[in-house]
Each structure stands twice: as C-alpha cells, then as structure tokens.
Chains A and B, each alone.
Chain A
C-alpha cells in the first residue's frame, strides 16, 4: 500500500517537472529538480527493487514528455540511483547534511550530463551557470525548506499528541 503512495508521489513529481512553465522554477531557467530530490531520498531509504524499476518507468515518462530519445532519462536516473545505493552504506543517511550532499551531487550529475549534451547546440555560458550552480543550489534550498517544514509539523503533531494524552 505504501508503495502505491510512493508511486503517486513520483508521478506527481514528474507532473510538476514536465508541465510548462514548471511549477518549481525560478524564471523558467533555474529548475528545482524535485524528481531528483525524490530519487535521492528513495534511493537512500527504500528498497532498490522498488526504486530502480519505478525510476526506469519515470525516465521513460520523462522522455515521452520532453521528446528526448526514449531511455535517456531512465539510464541517467538509474545510474544516479545505483551510485546512491553504493555509497549509502558509507554515510550517515539520517544526517541532514549528508542528505543535502547526496541531493546536490545527484542534481549536479544530472545537470552536468544535460549541459554536456546541450552546450554544443546552445553555446550559452549562462546555461552552464544555471545548470551547474543555480539548479543544485535552488534544489538544495527547496529541500531544506521542506525539511524544516516537516520537522515543525512533526513537532506540532507530537505536541498535539501529548496534550491529547494528558487530557
């Protein structure tokens, strides 16, 4: 049941990424890669037998919307996910700092591949700046905001539970 919920979360994150103009973007140049945040967190906390196929499909759906060659995003997403699976045994994944590090590295890796592919066509240095610096930064900031909000909500829920028990 919980996997259906996670699948829906992935579908929603694909939706907010593919619609134009993207919901989470700054001036439609700097994208907040919410799907990569989900990918990183899923790879850190969930089973690879769920994460790998779901992001294989997510990559195909992404390609069907972006009109990129079918399979390109699947390879990139699965590679990122696999790398995270390898490194997650060596890091403290519950620490916020490590989470941020993993997310920023995955966004950087994804954007680096995109820049390498598209730079010869666009020859725009602003693309490098946006993709390699601003996008990971904004994604990390976005995740931090969500993290803080979830912490506050959790605290409030605990407080509410305690008051309920006392009464």
Chain B
C-alpha cells in the first residue's frame, strides 16, 4: 500500500515535470540544459583523462615497437651494405654516368635578354632541376625550375650561367662565365694554354651537370689586359632565339663488374711488320 504523502509528493513532481514539458517549445531551456549537465561533467573529464592516458600508453608502446624494429632493420641493412661493398670490391665494379635524351618543345621564354626558356616537359616526365639542356649544335643551359608539365631552362645568356670547358684534345680545362647576351668569357687562363681564335671549346663534364665533349662554342676573340692577363670571348654554338626544340639529358648511374666485361684487343700501333695490340676492358 502506498500512503497519501507519497501520492501527493508524486503528483507535485509529475505536475512540475509536465509543466516543464509543456513549456519546452515556448521557453529557451539551453542555459538550464547546460546547468543540468554540470553533475556529469566530472565523470566525462575523468573518462577523457583515462582515454588520453590509455592512448598515450598505446602510442608509446607503438613507438617503442617501431623503434626496436627500425633498429633491427638498420642493423641488417648495415650488414648488407658492408657485404655489398665487399662483393663490389671483389667484382671490381666500375661506375659511370649514362645520359638519355628527352625531347621537349620550347613554349616560352623572355625574348628580350634570352636568359630563360620554358619547355613543355616537367616533373611528370621525370624532368628534374639541374638537368642539362642541349640541341643539335651544342649546349643551351640547365633546368632550374620544374612544374608538373613545364620546366624553366637557364640559358647561356643568363648572368648565373657558368660551365666547365676544355679544348678538343682535353688538354686545357677552364671555366666559362656569362659575359653579355650570347657571349661567354673565359678568365684566369694559364700561361701554357695555346688556343687561337675560332678554336672550338667543349664541355669538360666536371660537375656532373653537363655531359662531357659537347660543343660549347668557338673562341670569338682573345683580349689581353694592360697587366698582361688575357681572356677569351666565346660565341656559343647554339643560338637561343632560333630554338624551337631542345633535348633534356637524364643522367643514369650505371655500374658494371669490370671482371666480367670482355677483354678486347685493339691495334695501338705498328713498326714495320710488327704490330702492337693493347688490351681494353
């Protein structure tokens, strides 16, 4: 049995609840709702804290695991590296650079000073900064910027251009700099260099940007200073203004075991009936 007091108390509470329910649409209870959430907030904070701590513990465990795995892998790779080095030494590996040509069309540039040209090949075609640009007559410059579908080539008429050059016999090595539009300059020439006007200069291949033995230009003028030093003015073989296509060179490091390469005998000279052969690998 339930007594009257309880019934009255229940009726009052139910009436209050019904009044609150009725005024839901008319009164804005948002403040009251946030006030009602206050007693539960400590539980939520504790839960958040526990979740965070558990997550941190888990991430620490994962990092420790990852670190130990990496250490193990690193040790194994170090062993493999040493083994690789030993095997390469045993096989007498020789490494050299091979160049592949990627044709590209000139789609823009600055015709005023011809310091830059834009070509239609970019990083999507595996073009990278630092690649050499050349065409049929000789060196044009190098790639200085790459986007997805185009690249900017710094030409030999750019103030920043410099290139290692040598004569056709590869006796004398020099560095050519930008002098003026369409003209390069070679300074600090050693006293024993004997070159004449209209002699051709080729790329030396040092620096691994430009491939060796590509025609750079011809000596246009030899100028002597008042203090006895002289320098060459070089006319580049390739004219920028008339360019429609260029080749970009892709470098590939190739290494082969020299002990497996075939030995070839090559005639290196003859004295009368006596012929001398050299062995070339």
Contacts and interface: CB of A to CB of B under 8 A. Distances in A.
Interface of A: 11-12, 14-15, 18-19, 48-49, 52-53, 56-57, 59-61, 63-65, 69-72, 74-75, 78-79, 82, 85-86, 89
A61 B38 CA distance: 9
Interface string B2-26: 1000100110011011111100100
Contact of A48 (B9, B29, B37): B9
Given A12-B43, A15-B43, A60-B20, A86 B2 contact: yes
Interface residues of B, number: 25
Contact of A70 (B2, B13, B29): B29
Contact of B21 (A56, A71, A89): A71
A69 B24 contact: yes
A52 B9 contact: yes
Contacts of A14: 40
Nearest to A61: B36
Interface string B25-58: 0000100111011011001100100000000000
Interface of B: 1-2, 6, 9-10, 13-14, 16-21, 24, 29, 32-34, 36-37, 39-40, 43-44, 47
18 contacts: A15-B44, A19-B44, A19-B47, A52-B6, A52-B13, A56-B16, A59-B17, A61-B39, A61-B40, A63-B33, A64-B33, A64-B34, A71-B17, A71-B19, A78-B13, A82-B10, A85-B2, A85-B6
Q: Give the 4 A-B CB pairs with smallest separation, nearest first.
A: A71-B21, A71-B20, A15-B43, A64-B33
A98 to B, nearest CB: 18
A65 B24 contact: no
Given A53-B13, A56-B13, A82-B10, A72 B21 contact: yes
Which of B9, B32, B40, B44 has the largest count of A CB atoms less than 10 A from its CB? B40
Given A15-B44, A48-B6, A65-B40, A71 B24 contact: yes
Contacts of A64: 32-34, 36-37
Give the dominant DSSP class at A's interface: helix
Contacts of A82: 2, 10
Given A64-B36, A89-B1, A48 B17 contact: no
A74 B19 CA distance: 11
B31 to A, nearest CB: 11
Contacts of B13: 52-53, 56, 74, 78
Nearest to B36: A64
A17 to B, nearest CB: 10
Contacts of A53: 13
Contacts of A48: 2, 6, 9-10
